[in-house]
Amino acid sequence: DTEVTQTPKHLVMGMTNKKSLKCEQHMGHRAMYWYKQKAKKPPELMFVYSYEKLSINESVPSRFSPECPNSSLLNLHLHALQPEDSALYLCASSIRLAEYNEQFFGPGTRLTVL
């Protein structure tokens, strides 16, 4: 299995809702990432987990809450989002957290906040 899967594919939520994005990989990778990508822009790093521990938090607002319950799963919990949070949310993984390792990306969750 050489892919990263993300669910749901699309999500529409109101500003008072609570929802979660899910990411899964079975490649034995020990680093996992969340990115936010706005239209026609590059991905922006949000969080990095290494060996299930949060290693990097790029000063993301607290309405985004990551969770890494085990080495294969990564969740992003969403609460009280704003319309400007609408974007494509990409999950990625790499063998280890190292500068020479490429990242494997999932197809993303297209989030719309109303």
Partner 1 sequence: AQSVTQLDSQVPVFEEAPVELRCNYSSSVSVYLFWYVQYPNQGLQLLLKYLSGSTLVKGINGFEAEFNKSQTSFHLRKPSVHISDTAEYFCAVNTGGFKTIFGAGTRLFVKA
Q: Does 60 bind partner 1 (CB under 8 A)?
A: no
Q: Does 107 bind partner 1 (CB under 8 A)?
A: yes
Nearest to 51 by CA among 106, 94, 18: 94
Q: Does 53 bind partner 1 (CB under 8 A)?
A: no
Q: Is the separation of the CB atoms in 27 and 43 below 8 Å? A: no
DSSP letter for 59, please. S
Q: Does 73 bind partner 1 (CB under 8 A)?
A: no
Taking CB under 8 A as the criterion, the residue among 21, 104, 111, 113 binding partner 1 is 104
DSSP state string for 69-100:
EETTEEEEEEES--GGG-EEEEEEEESSS-TT
Taking CB under 8 A as the criterion, the residue among 87, 90, 111, 113 binding partner 1 is 90
- Contact footprint for partner 1 (CB under 8 A): 4, 40-43, 45, 48, 55-56, 90, 92, 97-100, 102-108, 110
